[in-house]
Amino acid sequence: MRGLERGVIRLGCTEGFAVDLMPEVIGTFRERHPGILFDMRVAAPQAVTRLVREGEVDLGVTFGFVPDPSVRIELVGNAPLMALMASDHPLAGQDHVTLRDIAAHAVALPAPDTTARQLFDLACGAEGVAVEPVLSTNYMSALWRFAEIGGGITVTGRITVLSRIWRFQIVALPVRSPTVEKRRYEVQSMIGRSLPDAARVFLDHLKLCLSRMEHGEAMPAGELSWARSDI
């Protein structure tokens, strides 16, 4: 328990992680370590990496296309795009969608400076598919809500939407396109710096939670709280 009775862990993450995943991971961690406080800053992907590189946060959780040599990569995973839609959408019964499927319906997209939008535009360009969004915003929660109420399809990363699929009447389908596999998510820390004890143990807990989500294990919050730092 050394270093885990009290302290502050500083986190940086993109909005996709901030909406559901990080609050859940923080909450389950504090069930076992209630003396640990958190300061979470939400920023664009490149800004999260800058916060890590400059030592303003202990850990960053973000998206990218290639490894950034200016930070230490603690964990990396695949972050393909998914098409998010209401459960009664005409495409909801399919096992996957193509870009042409998406283009035939109303579409809401993230802002152009997000990696999800950049990847989607790149894929559309490669396949010659034109998509004019009915809604474009830099607020991810608005896109997810728009999809939930049946306003249209949006695209999002698989890892950031898993818990939302489990809790809401919403469907997320893989996008069948070779280009959408090129994005990754990363957990980053500062090069040359030893993490404080609390941040190191939280990192292990975060890795465990991400691993379970990747394998489709939607566990109750309390069941995650026993995560040990040596797993």
Is 231 contained in some domain? no
Is 99 in the same domain as 151?
yes
The residues, any chain, with a CB within 8 Å of residue 157's CB and separated by 6 or more, are 16, 63, 79, 80, 81, 82, 116, 183, 185
Tell me the pLDDT tens digit for each residue of 172-195. Answer: 899 999 888 888 999 999 999 999
Q: Whole-angstrom Cα distance, residue 73 to residue 91?
A: 37
Structure tokens at 84: 């998010």
CATH code: domain of residue 154: 3.40.190.290
Res 126 pLDDT > 80: yes
Query: Does 13 share its domain with 59?
Result: yes
In a domain, 1, yes or no: no
Mean pLDDT, all residues of the chain: 87
Name the residue range of residue 173's domain. Answer: 81-182
Evaluate whether residue 229 is within a structural domain: no
Residue 168 has pLDDT above 70, yes or no: no
Share of the chain above pLDDT 70, in %: 88
Question: pLDDT category, 226, cuts 50, 70, 90?
Answer: very low
pLDDT digit string, tens, across residues 88-117: 999 999 999 999 999 999 999 999 988 899
C-alpha distances in Å from residue 118, one per residue of 165, 180, 186: 23, 10, 17
Supply the pLDDT for residue 99: 97
pLDDT for position 157: 83
- pLDDT tens for residues 71-80? 999 999 988 8
Let me know if residue 53 belongs to a domain.
Answer: yes
Residue 164: predicted pLDDT: 61
How do residues 32-77 score in pLDDT, each as one tens digit?
999 999 999 999 899 999 999 999 999 999 998 888 999 999 999 9
Question: Domain holding 27: CATH number?
Answer: 3.40.190.10
What predicted TM-score, i.e. pTM, was given to this entire model?
0.81
* Same domain as 199, residue 144: no
96 & 45 share domain = no
* H/E segment holding residue 163: helix 158-167
Residue 54 has a pLDDT of 97
- Domain annotation covers residue 188: yes
Under DSSP, the state recorded for 105 is S
Q: Do 175 and 195 share a structural domain? A: no
